Amino acid sequence: MLAPINISMESLNVMTLAPMLIPVVGALLILVIDVIKGGLHKSLYVVLSLLFLAMDFFSLLDASEIFTQNGTVLGMFDVMLIDGLALLAQFIIVIASMLFIPLALTNKRFHEFSYPEFFALFLFMIAGFQFMVATDNLILIFVGLETASLALYTLIAMHNRDKSFEAAVKYFTMGALAAGFFSFGAMVFYALTGSVEINKIALVLAANGYADIGYVLVGVSFMLAAFAFKLSLIPFHTWAPDVYEGSSAPMAGYMSIVPKIAAFVVAMRFFEFLVHSGIIWLDIVLYAFVIITMTVANMWALVQTDVKRMLAYSSISHAGFVMAAILIGTTQANSALFLYWVLFTFTNLGSFTMLWISRQKSLPEHQMSDHSYDKFAGMIKTAPVPAMIMGLFMLSLAGIPPFALFWGKIYLISSAVTSGYTILALIMALNSAIAGYYYLKLIVYMFMKEPVVGANGHIYVANATLALKTIIGIAAVGTIFAFVAINPLLEFITAFVYNSGY
Note the residues at the interface with other proteins (CB under 8 A). Answer: 395, 400-402, 406-407, 410-411, 413-414, 417-418, 422, 425-426, 429-430, 432-433, 436-437, 440, 443-444, 447-449, 483, 486-487, 490-491, 494
**Three-class secondary structure of residue 88 per DSSP:** helix
State the minimum distance, in angstroms, from the CB of residue 66 to other proteins. Answer: 24
Cβ distance to other proteins smaller for residue 139 or 490: 490
State the minimum distance, in angstroms, from the CB of residue 310 to other proteins. Answer: 16
- DSSP H/E element including 75: strand 73-75
Cβ distance to other proteins smaller for residue 206 or 433: 433
- Which among 270, 278, 294 has a CA at the least distance from the CA of 413? 294
Cβ distance to other proteins smaller for residue 411 or 502: 411
State the minimum distance, in angstroms, from the CB of residue 349 to other proteins. Answer: 22
- Which among 15, 27, 261, 259 has a CA at the least distance from the CA of 123? 27
Cβ distance to other proteins smaller for residue 315 or 396: 396
- Which among 386, 244, 250, 369 has a CA at the least distance from the CA of 305? 369
Cβ distance to other proteins smaller for residue 44 or 423: 423
State the minimum distance, in angstroms, from the CB of residue 431 to other proteins. Answer: 9
State the minimum distance, in angstroms, from the CB of residue 372 to other proteins. Answer: 18
State the minimum distance, in angstroms, from the CB of residue 414 to other proteins. Answer: 5
State the minimum distance, in angstroms, from the CB of residue 401 to other proteins. Answer: 4
State the minimum distance, in angstroms, from the CB of residue 457 to other proteins. Answer: 16
Residue 125: DSSP 8-state: H
State the minimum distance, in angstroms, from the CB of residue 459 to other proteins. Answer: 22
**Cα separation of 404 and 422, whole Å?**
24
CA dist list (Å): 69 to 15, 73, 385: 15, 10, 46
Cβ distance to other proteins smaller for residue 122 or 341: 341
**Cα separation of 174 and 318, whole Å?**
21
State the CB neighbour count (10 A cutoff) for residue 349. 27
Cβ distance to other proteins smaller for residue 65 or 491: 491
- Whether 297 and 317 have beta carbons less than 8 Å apart is answered as yes
Cβ distance to other proteins smaller for residue 222 or 411: 411
Considering just the CA atoms, what is the radius of gyration of the chain in Å?
A: 22
**Three-class secondary structure of residue 89 per DSSP:** helix
Cβ distance to other proteins smaller for residue 11 or 422: 422
Cβ distance to other proteins smaller for residue 284 or 426: 426
- Whether 106 and 465 have beta carbons less than 8 Å apart is answered as yes
- Whether 120 and 31 have beta carbons less than 8 Å apart is answered as yes
Q: What is the DSSP string of 319-335?
A: HHHHHHHHHH-SHHHHH
**Three-class secondary structure of residue 137 per DSSP:** strand
**Cα separation of 1 and 463, whole Å?**
67
- Whether 497 and 338 have beta carbons less than 8 Å apart is answered as yes
- DSSP H/E element including 82: strand 80-82
State the minimum distance, in angstroms, from the CB of residue 61 to other proteins. Answer: 22
- Whether 205 and 277 have beta carbons less than 8 Å apart is answered as yes
